[in-house]
Every structure is written in structure tokens, then in C-alpha cells.
Amino acid sequence: MEISFKEKAVSFLQMAASGKVREAYRYYIGDGLIVELWDLGQSIPESSVNENGMF
């Protein structure tokens, strides 16, 4: 059974956070791709003090 991209991202971050950055990179970059998880947990306001909004 293959794990989801989210599970791969979490595993990569846990391994890197534990100090095994090189091992995490080698394990998860074996096929030349890095799995990324972008999560936006903040609501975007309708008006902003700058012209670019949140981004």
C-alpha cells in the first residue's frame, strides 16, 4: 500500500526535524521529486492595508 503525498510530507518533515536532514533528503528524493504540503489555515480578509493582500 502506497502512502499519500501528505503522509510523505509529514514523514519527511519529522525526519528532518529530528536532525536526520541528509537521510530524509536521500530517502524522499530517490525519484527526483520532493513532496510538498502547503496548508493555509488562516482566513483571507476581504480588505487589506496593502495592495497585495496576504500574498
pTM above 0.85, yes or no: no
- What is the per-residue pLDDT for 26? 80
CA 46 to chain centre: 26
**What DSSP character marks residue 25?**
H
* Domain range summary for the chain, segments of one domain joined by +: 1-35
Question: What is the mean pLDDT of the segment spanning 12-27?
Answer: 88
Higher pLDDT residue, 16 or 26? 16
Mean pLDDT of the chain: 78
- How far apart CA 14 and CA 8 sit, in angstroms, is 10
- What is the per-residue pLDDT for 37? 59
- What is the per-residue pLDDT for 40? 61
Question: What is the mean pLDDT of the segment spanning 7-34?
Answer: 82
| pLDDT higher than threshold 90 for residue 33 | no
